[in-house]
A and B are shown apart, each in its own frame.
Chain A
């Protein structure tokens, strides 16, 4: 009698093992077709879901646009470029998994991302170990390119890391110069305790005090909190002529509105994080200021290609704050690939060459001049100050940071 259960168990085990051994043979047969052109993938690591997904999707779509344009113009003969987008949910852990996944895909040759500096800290080492270039459209933490002692002894920690956005030590000082030039000598600073906001305020403060201004009060807010009355009262008591805010529009708008409500009618100035139409919807007032990288988009012919292409591609989401930088980042990688892939047999062997080639890339992109210095930072020094006039951002002054 017991023979039967053995044979039954035997059948089950056999079936299972059959299924498992079956894996190998078949998959080879399936992919053995072979393709005429070789494939190289450009990865994207950005928050594609969650609170920050609007910006993440803008980055993804802009990279997609750059890849499509490159394929259409056959920018790299013999090669077809593909997009490999991974969600990082704006968390370092998930970002690291995404980077590991991309690194173990032999066709991935470069990555555009991340949005958050905190996530970049986790992805850069993983991609560096695999010799994959990472070009960020949005990380502003100076330490990413210049190391822990970026003010006193800058040293580049990872050779694979570049960025197309400007760091805080360009935007902050530019804002300081503008305010000093407008005759404003007393400023209060507020930031949201994110690497972006804190970095901006730190660099702004340095340049502003060096230029002869005084920071009369320095405050911080908690982005989870919507009520800034305690902070505003303190700022108001210090009597500044302007408030410099380090952070993004989501808090800057309400802050501007509450400032006005509390009777503090001085302009609020911020970085590219508040240069967004939503700033006015959430309470930004006429006279508020923002700095952004590059000359105004309308005046740049290279930017028009991006804007028109993006409109024509009809993506569901807007390109958002960092789309243009992401477009430039992808095009920088593509420009490097023209050199590195020219004689390469497969994508993996060209990874190292891509990093070398990226260092000497130079062209006019959607945000202005694209190129990298010896730390991997953007060489762009042209910035524009925008002012809110009748509820719209209007270019106030374009200049180069000296």
Chain B
């Protein structure tokens, strides 16, 4: 962040600024023990004296961090030693202060809106605001510190693994806590707070360090991520409300991952991807034991899933074979048209405009729950004293499917096929000239992506209980694409984050739902304009979108070098 304040002034003012910043942080700490609001209905009840609410407790992290960041350097440069350079003390304090200010503003706005007017804000609230403004203003006047070098600090393996586990545990309980919030204002405040904390940690250099730690312990990372996801239902105490959303997020994310192969790796824009999900869902529905099923053939679910995947991939071949020979732009529109053909066909196969397969717009309801190897997905099970309901069962099943998809995705990404795909994405003609069979590879990606969507669709049919054509409209394809674009094309974690954001935010911010699509459109435009590579960028991809940005190219190169320095012990790195 650049400021217009001259450096000289900053140096002159560094002591008073530090003092003011410390005072502001102290004020914020004190404020949580005073009531923020007059009534008890706002946020998660911030009207108590001496007893902070959970939200206020989490908020405490920021002012305490500011106190530490501004206070510790007071021991003097000599005592700090190398740590003077490892941590960007001043800049991190500035980020934390701005994050705290943003959080307080959101919180106070929420209080004012929920209780009706600024009069409802009590001393604590005003004190927090004044403190945050002081801290933010003061830290802006501190001299900028050099980039943190925490990421270069060597650390023992046990510490790295512990750190990963701790982060995962925080993710688990944090998401359970956030999902449990009913109050939109509290949820927004928490969101602002989390963004503030994450940015502060990033400025501190924690993510650089964590990135290297997780690269060194990739398996631990993946395993612990799955353990955390697996453990999530246990945090819900038998409640279905959030598990229903969580299961939907996974179905959506699995579909988006399939799309990510097509769009992210090969660079083929598919605007009718939801049709493949729908084809899988309808196939599973007509083959299910539902009273509305129209085909009198009810194979076990394992077979149904494979049939559903195959039907979807055959459709993919049908639509891909003619269009993949021409330019990619055509593909976008043809797939869009295909999505419409699919929807209209499902509507028309109702017995009056065509053979009765789908019951038209009424769709196929009453699809029974899955029963795999005697495990009834419709029943609640008690495990370790905690009730695991219907949606949690589907959540676990989707987790398994997801693991499979991620396995396929990462393995292919680093294989000959994956390299061929990326080559096609970057320059199709050059790839062809180098002997890559572009048509076959594109077709493989297209049909493979459709297969994955078909599998997800088959499970979705049972999870949803009913399948209707109106679930598979263009807007859903656009949402899938948005998940891929928002999170980061070509990355697994990015797409997961994109899916979570797109599915959870609308559920939690229901008062906003009329403006949901407006914001969605705006977000797509702004993302393409300012961060086309997504929240989590694939490195190759990032370079592609910013090929004129030499600074970024150097940065990535440097990162790669330091990365290798850690992997190769012969290279000299920092010793802890």
Contacts and interface: CB of A to CB of B under 8 A. Distances in A.
Asked if the two chains touch in their complex, CB atoms less than 8 Å apart, one says: yes
User: B174, B245, B361 — which one has the most chain A CB atoms within 10 A of its CB?
Assistant: B361
A57 to B, nearest CB: 11
Given A100-B241, A198-B352, 7 more contacts: A11-B68, A20-B173, A29-B51, A48-B513, A53-B514, A122-B466, A193-B360
B564 interface: no
Interface stretch (A87-95, A333-341, A381-389): A87-95
Given A49-B514, A148-B292, A101 B347 contact: no
Interface stretch (A1-9, A59-67, A252-260): A1-9
Interface of B: 40, 44-45, 51-54, 57-58, 60-61, 64-65, 68, 72, 81-83, 166, 170, 173-174, 177, 239-241, 243-245, 248, 290-292, 344, 347-348, 350, 352-353, 360-363, 365-366, 390-391, 464-466, 468, 470-471, 506-507, 510, 513-514, 516, 576
A21 to B, nearest CB: 9
A97 B507 CA distance: 8
Nearest to B251: A93
Q: Closest 7 CB pairs between A and B?
A: A121-B466, A148-B291, A121-B365, A19-B57, A100-B244, A49-B514, A49-B513
A36 to B, nearest CB: 17
B327 to A, nearest CB: 27
B82 A13 contact: no
Interface in A50-79: 50, 53
A118 B513 contact: no
B51 A26 contact: yes
B464 A103 contact: no
Interface string A206-231: 00000000000010101000000000
Contact of A1 (B68, B81, B177, B240): B81
A104 interface: yes
User: A103, A125, A126 — which one has the most chain B CB atoms within 10 A of its CB?
Assistant: A125
B38 to A, nearest CB: 15
Contacts of B471: 91-93, 118
Contacts of A103: 240-241
B529 to A, nearest CB: 27
A263 interface: no
A250 interface: no
Contacts, number: 136
Contacts of A50: 513-514
A262 interface: no
A34 interface: no
B83 A16 contact: no
B390 A1 contact: no
A143 B291 CA distance: 11
Contacts of B58: 16, 19
Interface residues of A, number: 58
A279 B192 CA distance: 47
A253 B292 CA distance: 34
Contact of A93 (B45, B362, B464): B464
B352 A101 contact: no
Nearest to A53: B514
B365 A23 contact: no
19 contacts: A12-B61, A12-B65, A13-B166, A15-B61, A15-B64, A19-B60, A19-B61, A26-B53, A26-B54, A30-B40, A30-B45, A92-B466, A97-B248, A100-B241, A104-B239, A104-B240, A121-B363, A143-B292, A148-B291
A163 interface: no
User: A13, A121, A143, A194 — which one has the most chain B CB atoms within 10 A of its CB?
Assistant: A121
A198 B358 CA distance: 14
Nearest to B45: A30
A308 B240 CA distance: 40
A148 B239 contact: no
